[in-house]
């Protein structure tokens, strides 16, 4: 097929010279440098100050270390062991958390017994710790109870689980009599 009579003759593709490519290469280098700058801590801080990047999410994590091993039976006036929980500071500042463990009847959470165990933990940003309190002379009446772990110190987190308060004779041998 022949080209139309009024068509311009084809020109061979011109080779690009370094002068033609230089502005594009400079632009590419600038984009890479600016992109790299914003991957650094000072660069991210500049983006946050400009309102282009949000603050990191801060939270406190509270969880039972192994829920399958939580004590299912509490015996009045005896110590309870086996309760373990972890606290993680997922904030950008060192925090001191107060923790407490209490035992209540599920229907009367407002009538909680005084803390059976309590303490504090100091955690740096990102740090996690495990707490294994011993509840001394548990006070409860036979039946279902709720064991609660609560945090204070800038957070009001609570976790709980259900257990059974037994009578002394049931807990000691598993059977009365």
Residue that terminates a domain, selected from 8, 31, 49: 49
Q: pLDDT-derived band of residue 172, with 50, 70 and 90 as boundaries?
A: very low
- The Cα–Cα gap between 172 and 134 comes to 18
Q: Is residue 12 part of a domain?
A: no
User: Within the chain, how many helices (H) and strands (E) appear?
Assistant: 3, 8
pTM of model > 0.75: no
Supply the pLDDT for residue 111: 53
Do both 84 and 148 map to the same domain? yes
Q: Is residue 30 part of a domain?
A: yes
Do both 44 and 123 map to the same domain? no
**Structural domain boundaries, residue 137:** 59-173
Do both 104 and 125 map to the same domain? yes
Do both 91 and 153 map to the same domain? yes
Q: How many domains does one find in the chain?
A: 2
Do both 79 and 25 map to the same domain? no
- Residue 95 in contact with residue 153, Cβ under 8 Å? yes
DSSP state at residue 48: H
Supply the pLDDT for residue 123: 96
Strand partners, 64: 85
Residue from 112, 99, 120 nearest 147 by CA: 112
Q: pLDDT-derived band of residue 176, with 50, 70 and 90 as boundaries?
A: very low
Do both 138 and 169 map to the same domain? yes
DSSP state at residue 135: B
φ/ψ (deg, to 5) at 146? -115, 125
Do both 72 and 43 map to the same domain? no
Q: Is residue 167 part of a domain?
A: yes
- The Cα–Cα gap between 26 and 93 comes to 41
Percent of the chain with pLDDT over 70: 78
- The per-residue pLDDT for range 58-117, each reduced to its tens digit, is 899 999 999 999 999 999 888 989 999 999 999 989 999 999 999 988 765 545 566 689
Supply the pLDDT for residue 174: 42
- The per-residue pLDDT for range 53-68, each reduced to its tens digit, is 776 678 999 999 999 9
Q: Is residue 116 part of a domain?
A: yes
Do both 76 and 156 map to the same domain? yes
CATH at residue 142: 2.60.40.10
Residue 139, CA atoms < 13 Å, CB-side half-sphere: 9
């Amino acid at each position: 097929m022949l080209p139309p009579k009024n068509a311009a003759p084809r020109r061979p593709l011109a080779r690009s010279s370094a002068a033609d490519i230089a502005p594009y290469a400079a632009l590419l280098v600038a984009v890479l440098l600016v992109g790299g700058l914003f991957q650094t801590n000072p660069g991210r801080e500049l983006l946050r100050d400009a309102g282009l990047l949000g603050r990191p999410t801060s939270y406190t994590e509270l969880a039972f270390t192994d829920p399958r091993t939580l004590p299912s039976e509490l015996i009045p006036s005896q110590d309870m062991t086996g309760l373990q929980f972890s606290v993680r500071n997922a904030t950008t500042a060192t925090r001191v958390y107060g923790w407490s463990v209490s035992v209540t009847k599920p229907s009367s959470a407002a009538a909680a017994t005084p803390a059976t165990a309590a303490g504090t933990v100091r955690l740096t940003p990102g740090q996690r710790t495990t707490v294994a309190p011993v509840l001394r002379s548990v006070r409860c009446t036979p039946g279902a109870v709720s064991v609660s772990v609560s945090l204070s110190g800038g957070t009001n987190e609570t976790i709980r689980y259900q257990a059974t308060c037994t009578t002394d004779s049931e807990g000691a041998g598993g059977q009365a009599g």
